[in-house]
Amino acid sequence: MYISFFAMFLMFVSVLTALFSRTKLKGFWQKLVLTISFICLCVAGLIVFVIVIGGPTATAD
């Protein structure tokens, strides 16, 4: 469960950094922060994909 929260946090960070980069930065720094934002989004998407494909886990009785 905590790994999915981490994925949501990465998505949130990705949105904030993309908005900040497009409104406040220019040049090299804008491209660098947008790249970091894209990497966060890709990692979050990969985590969500693995969680969804993994399906529900067995419960211990």
Could you write out the three-class secondary structure of 36-48? Answer: HHHHHHHHHHHHH
Every domain of the chain and the residues it spans: 2-54
The pTM of this model reads: 0.83
Q: What is the pLDDT of residues 1-58, one digit of tens each?
A: 899 999 999 999 999 999 999 999 999 999 999 999 999 999 999 999 999 998 887 7
Kindly state the DSSP code that residue 37 receives in the 8-state scheme. H
Q: Which two tokens stand for residue 49?
A: 């994909």
pLDDT of 60 reads: 65
pLDDT of 58 reads: 72
Q: Backbone dihedral region of 43: left (phi > 0), alpha (psi from -120 to 50 degrees) or beta?
A: alpha
pLDDT of 27 reads: 96
- Helices (H), strands (E): how many in the chain? 2, 0
